[in-house]
Structure 1
Amino acid sequence: MSQEQVYSDAGFGQPVPRGTRPAIVVVDFSYGFTDTQYPTASDASAQMAKTRRICDIARDKGFPVIFSTIAFHLGELDTLPWLRKAAGMRALVEGSRLVEIDAATGIQPNDPIVVKKGASSFFGSTLAALLTGAKTDTLVVCGATTSGCVRATVVDAVQSGFNVLVPRDCCADRAAAPHEANLYDMNQKYADVTDAADIAAWLDSLA
């Protein structure tokens, strides 16, 4: 039996309904994850360009565009368990360039930035409140990394009551295998994995 048949027989991979009040969440396209002079980063230039296009359309339509970044206080570096496992992220310190959103995303002054200490953009942040306040029904999740903070955000988004779309060409990772595996799994269980062109066309179709 094929892998696709196994998942289909289990009832996974059903299509996600799309509402009329979307929001874009751009996960951790900060310099620490996009500027390859830093060891925590990967080349996300192509993904940021496609993300910028859909963010521009969303703003023009009056829909929220929200960014997230990881930023640690110096006093947290020796006590947070995540930083024992992922020690390279100790460099993501408040006030440093690494935690600033990459200008290549086209971020605008009115775009909210939620600061987080963990993988999910929802955990310990104001993201859920911002989306609820905007009456969001469908969330488009872009960013880095696909297998880490993007996936965690997607899982929390669907558990928080949002329909979720993930444009694969707007997500970056350090290696192809975890990128592809996590896109496959998200598409089966939590979100519709699509692409930037599809998201742009859908946004353009909304009043």
Structure 2
Amino acid sequence: MKWWAELFPEPERRAYAQMAKGFKFFSGTRPALLVVDVVKAFVGVPDLSLEEASHEWVTACGPAAWEALPRIKTLLDDFRSNNLPICFTTGQPGAAAKFGGTNKAELSAMGSPMDRPGAQEIPDLIRPQDGEWVLDKPKASAFFATPLVAWLHHHAVDSVVIVGCTTSGCVRATCVDAMSWGYPTAVIEDACFDRSRLSHGVSLFEMHTKYADVMTVEEFEQDHSPGSLAQ
């Protein structure tokens, strides 16, 4: 049993299990990898505790971010070696002032972290290569008020793989919209991160139950290898 399923009492797990009854949702032969908001504003500074990281960047996720980065790199390497589409997302500077914040905190005294210098920097370990799209989005979902669907269509994408942060925020919003647009969706649990392990786990459980297949990098590589899909 997944650790995030164990967050729920047994009667609640049984009730949720009636919904999909083990149905496998993710499928397709040409997936795109969406790397959601893995930028300095959320990754923060390495080798700091969560509390220390949040003093530097209020939205930073601390050690959880740096644990996820090598796993994101593994998936990037696989998608790149098989010439499959990759999209990085980040928040759009100035979007909070123009369109309202991505969450209510941005409308309060916090302001938008994306308006700080360096907020959109992507860590060197996973830095985009030439030709890989970096999409700056005005809201939480990568799909909302962006040309992402047109990009997916242009690249003949038939399924979506999501990694990044935060699991309970932009990852979940993107996952819901991916399913809503008809894309079989996989969320890679150990390549996603959040400030709260509880929020991370509950969000994984909810997405797996309702909108996507949630799996580890290892499970994805075993069952949905980009190499085999690209053949």
Q: CA deviation at 1:198?
A: 2.2
* More deviation, 80-89/22-31: 80-89
Find the counterpart in structure 2 of residue 205 from structure 1: 228
Instruction: Give the aligned residue type for 1:42.
Output: C
- Structure 1 78/139 Cα, relative in aligned 2: closer, same or farther at 3 Å? closer
Matches within 5 A, 1:9-158: 9-11=18-20, 14-35=23-44, 36=53, 37-43=56-62, 44-73=65-94, 76-77=96-97, 80-82=100-102, 84-86=104-106, 87=108, 88=110, 90-93=112-115, 96-158=117-179
Structure 2 stretches lacking a partner, 5+ long? 1-9, 45-52
Instruction: Give the aligned residue type for 2:159.
Output: T
Find the counterpart in structure 1 of residue 3 from structure 2: none
Q: CA deviation at 1:83?
A: 5.7
Residues 69-91 of structure 1: CA deviation (Å, up to 9, x unaligned): 002228x4386154653343513
Partners of 1:79 and 1:135 in 2: CA distance? 31
Q: CA deviation at 1:8?
A: 2.3
Q: CA deviation at 1:55?
A: 1.0
Q: CA RMSD in A?
A: 2.0
Residues 49-73 of structure 1: CA deviation (Å, up to 9, x unaligned): 1011111110110101100000222
Conserved 8 A contact 2:87-2:133: yes
Find the counterpart in structure 1 of residue 17 from structure 2: 8
Task: Confirm or deny that 1:163 pairs with 2:172.
Answer: no
How many pairs were matched up? 205
Partners of 1:194 and 1:149 in 2: CA distance? 18
Conserved 8 A contact 1:139-1:164: yes
* More deviation, 33-42/80-89: 80-89
Structure 1 stretches lacking a partner, 5+ long? none
Partners of 1:64 and 1:84 in 2: CA distance? 33
Partners of 1:156 and 1:198 in 2: CA distance? 23
Conserved 8 A contact 1:151-1:182: yes
Instruction: Give the aligned residue type for 2:227.
Output: D
Q: What TM-score comes out, normalization by structure 1 length? A: 0.91
Conserved 8 A contact 2:33-2:86: yes
